[in-house]
Amino acid sequence: MKLTLTALLLACVIPFTSAARAADSDIKKSIEGSFPGTKITSISKSPINGVFEVVTQSPQGPLVIYADSMGQHLLIGDLLNVASKRNLTSERMEKLTAIKWESLPLQNAIKIVKGDGSRKLAVFSDPDCPYCRKAEAEFAKLDNVTIYTFAYPLAMHPDAGRKSKLVWCSKDRAQAWQDLMLKNVVPGGKADCDDPLEENLALGAKLRIDGTPALIFENGKRVPGYVDAKRLETMLNGASARKVSTKN
């Protein structure tokens, strides 16, 4: 009896699929049983034979770990590809924590347009955060970018909320924000207008932003902390190119 290629492939695939499903079940049972409260969202093969990538969800966000087929041994750390010098764990985390640009309520942000404004950057910033002011000086060196700043006053800075409200209630929010961050000039006037600060704080909590500055690029990539202008240029160009290729 002749054995067709299709039949041969099916004969190989079916046992493998069953084994993979059994491994998934064993891993899930072992990890969730050993660590109550842990929720596994996905299990998949890793580049290492016999090792599986396990994604768990926690209040702090997703976490990538690695397990054997029975879930009896776990590895927590970065998986690197030696030939390409890529950090596979970091790349996976970037995808898991990416933010859809379209989901951001940009109407709640202070909009600053530089040049043609073609590139896009969103920033969660606290007016009393030293690194936010340092970052703002780097933003000033950029051109052809639209920066959306979500005022995000942290609890550790008791006067940051008042300053944020004064900026939002200013006639020219963009200028008021830049004067505050670059020249330490607190806006005059009153902070008695409707402002989006509570919404910004709720959004930041939802996105698990626990420090400032926090940068979000148009391709969904998020970067915590201060970034200099040279690196920002590279990242903005990469994000714009990725956005165009995605649309096409």
pLDDT tens per residue, range 215-243: 999 999 999 999 999 999 999 998 876 65
Q: How far is CA 228 from CA 139, 144, 235, in A?
A: 8, 16, 11
Average pLDDT score over residue span 83-99: 89
**Cβ pair 224, 211 in contact under 8 A:** yes
Q: Which residue has the higher pLDDT, 59 or 92?
A: 92
d(CA 69, CA 76): 16
Predicted confidence (pLDDT) at residue 245 exceeds the cutoff of 60? no
> Judging by DSSP bridges, how do beta strands 110-114 and 86-87 pair with one another?
unpaired
153 pLDDT above the threshold of 70:
yes
Q: Is the pLDDT of residue 5 over 70?
A: no
Interval 164-181: pLDDT, tens = 999 999 999 999 999 999
- For CATH 3.40.30.10, the residue range(s) in the chain are 101-247
Tell me how crowded residue 49 is: count the other CB atoms within 10 A of its CB.
6
- Residue 161's pLDDT is what? 96
User: Please, what is the angle between helix 160-168 and helix 173-183, to 10°?
Assistant: 140
Query: How confident is the model at residue 22, as a pLDDT?
Result: 55
For the cut 80, the answer to whether the pLDDT of residue 121 exceeds it is yes
Select the more confidently predicted residue: 124 or 57.
Answer: 124
Superfamily of domain 101-247 in the CATH hierarchy: Glutaredoxin (3.40.30.10)
> What is the C-alpha to C-alpha distance for residues 127 and 133, in angstroms, rounded to an integer?
7
pLDDT band at 114 (very low <50, low <70, confident <90, very high): very high
Tokens (6 digits) for 208: 């698990």
Span 5-96: which CATH code? 3.10.450.70
Q: Quote the mean pLDDT of the chain.
A: 87
pLDDT reading at 157 higher than 60: yes
